[in-house]
Amino acid sequence: MGRTLPLLAIILTWAATPIGAQDALPAGAQDAPPADIAPVDLRADAVPPPEKAPEKPPDPLAMKMKWKNGPYFYTEDGLFTFQPGGRFQLDTIATAVPAGLRRNITGPSQFEDGVSVRRARFAADGTFAKTIDFKAEFDFANAFITQTTPQRASLATVPTELNLTFRQLPIIGNLRIGNQKQPISFEHMTSSKYLNFLERSTSFDAFAEGFNNGFVPGIQAFDNFLTDKRAYWALGVFKTTRSIFGFNVGRNEADLTGRLAYLPIYENKGEQLLHVGLGGSYRDLDDDQQRYRSRFSLRSSPSALSDLIADTGFLYGGREARLVPELAGVAGSFSFQAEYYTSWLSRTQMPVGSTLVPYGTTFYHGGYVEVHYFLTGEHREYDHERMAFTRVVPKNPIRWVGDTRGLGAWQLAARYGYLDLNDKGIVGGITHEFVLGLNWFLTPNAKLQANYVLTSREAADPAASGLLHGFGVRTAWDF
């Protein structure tokens, strides 16, 4: 009873207190959380962000793309690359040849005017693991004769470069296996994308092209040496072939070809340079046959149908040896190149009726010298991989819209060429060629070329001798 009375007094006192006074507690006393509970801020900007998902590691095989004279795909570490490419060349040709001479030149087109797709190639190249290069290129503008009377040609898609290259090998450096160019001749090693004229020299056509587009199956080792890659060597074994399809059958028929090149002068990244080189070849013949011939330096029809301005006809022989010394130079906007082609054919025999007439070892030769000058200040670029000229990059590519204007790069060029296919009574003809050229490089990937060609032809028959004139324009682009 004693404890009950104080508790009852407290209850009665609270009940007698006015209602408003019941809340008159110290400010914040009612809402104060227990000491062990932290206050919660419910403002939107105070909400903590959700936990981030763990970042995925970068994909080492993911490829990026940039423009490198065409679309170029590569992995971040540079181990793998891939680049599609192609080239297109359209020629428009006009000729002026006396009627009597026209009738006495070998070939079905007889120097008619015409338009011809000179090259239409598509390619893909790249690198595996930074040490294995691949290249696959096919030309869609070829023809082969399927009927001789009258001559008909069928369109042919043929391989040009179709090979693997193994890099950074011990001792030998690089090894290339597959269809490829033989390492001989400066103008041969210069890509058709970068030629100073519409066609290479008549001597190249007679001695290096060989009815195979300049590409043969084989294996070659090559590498640069000395400081700044100033020297180069290449040596390969190839299958002798006269086919554009990259194959041949026959016992032996092998070809050993090599090249040495050196830059005694190389300054300012090639603005001043002097190149000297020597290529050589020793080969078996395909089916014991050889034929030296050359076409006019403007072509209004597929190569298989082009007229021949010099031709020994088919000869029989043992083996052939070739030597091709080369010289080239750059001095600012001025450049030049020159080569001398020589060929010795052993145990030469010429068919006369049903009889093979022996001639022993016969000798044929030719050469050229050409000069070039940029009116717009560029210089001829040089490629150490091939030890030959490469792409021209205009200082001001052509532009006619926007704030920047450009006229591209303009280049003048001239060439003299000589070819002698006469020896020991075999008369293949002698030619002297003069070519004047104007090149307009619109961008690094597109150009227009114009050539005037004057050729003097000396044949056994006076009716087949005389002057050949021609004018050609090429529209070309590549990527």
The more confidently predicted of residues 43 and 128 is 128
Residue 48: pLDDT above 90? no
Instruction: Single out the residue of 372, 370, 392, 369 nearest to residue 381, CA to CA.
Output: 392
Looking at residue 354, what is its pLDDT?
86
Q: What is the DSSP letter of 317?
A: -
Looking at residue 47, what is its pLDDT?
63
Looking at residue 249, what is its pLDDT?
86
Residue 140: pLDDT above 80? yes
Looking at residue 450, what is its pLDDT?
98
Q: Which of 239-248, 277-286, 407-416 has the lowest mean pLDDT?
A: 239-248
Q: Read off the pLDDT band of 145 (50, 70, 90).
A: low
Instruction: Single out the residue of 30, 428, 143 nearest to residue 22, CA to CA.
Output: 30
Q: For residue 209, what are its two tokens?
A: 């092209």
Residue 418: pLDDT above 60? yes
Q: For residue 219, what are its two tokens?
A: 């294996």
Looking at residue 32, what is its pLDDT?
52
Residue 39: pLDDT above 50? yes
State which H helix or E strand residue 7 sits in: helix 4-15
Q: Read off the pLDDT band of 190 (50, 70, 90).
A: very high
Looking at residue 57, what is its pLDDT?
77
Q: Average of pLDDT values for 117-138?
A: 95
Looking at residue 339, what is its pLDDT?
98
Q: What is the pLDDT of residues 421-442, one digit of tens each?
A: 999 999 999 999 999 999 999 9
The more confidently predicted of residues 67 and 22 is 67
To the nearest whole percent, how much of the chain has pLDDT over 70? 87
Q: Read off the pLDDT band of 413 (50, 70, 90).
A: very high
Q: Average of pLDDT values for 49-60?
A: 74
CA 435 to chain centre: 24
CB neighbour burial string for 163-202, b if at least 16 within 10 angstroms, e if fewer: bebeeeeeeebbbbebbbbbbbbbbbbbbbbbbbbbbbbb
The more confidently predicted of residues 241 and 57 is 241
Looking at residue 11, what is its pLDDT?
47
The more confidently predicted of residues 23 and 320 is 320
Mean residue pLDDT of the chain comes to 88
Q: What is the pLDDT of residues 329-372, one digit of tens each?
A: 999 999 999 999 999 999 999 998 889 999 999 999 999 999 99
CB neighbour burial string for 74-109, b if at least 16 within 10 angstroms, e if fewer: bbeeeebbbbebbbbbbbbbebebeeebbebbebbb
Looking at residue 151, what is its pLDDT?
53
Cα–Cα dist 386/384, whole Å: 5
State which H helix or E strand residue 10 sits in: helix 4-15
Cβ contact 117:90 at 8 Å = yes
To the nearest whole percent, how much of the chain has pLDDT over 90? 70
Q: What is the pLDDT of residues 62-79, one digit of tens each?
A: 899 999 999 999 998 889
Q: Average of pLDDT values for 20-44?
A: 52
Q: Which residues pair with 284 in a beta bridge?
A: 319
Q: Average of pLDDT values for 382-399?
A: 96
State which H helix or E strand residue 49 sits in: none
Q: Read off the pLDDT band of 5 (50, 70, 90).
A: very low
Instruction: Single out the residue of 323, 370, 331 nearest to residue 200, CA to CA.
Output: 370
Q: Read off the pLDDT band of 246 (50, 70, 90).
A: confident
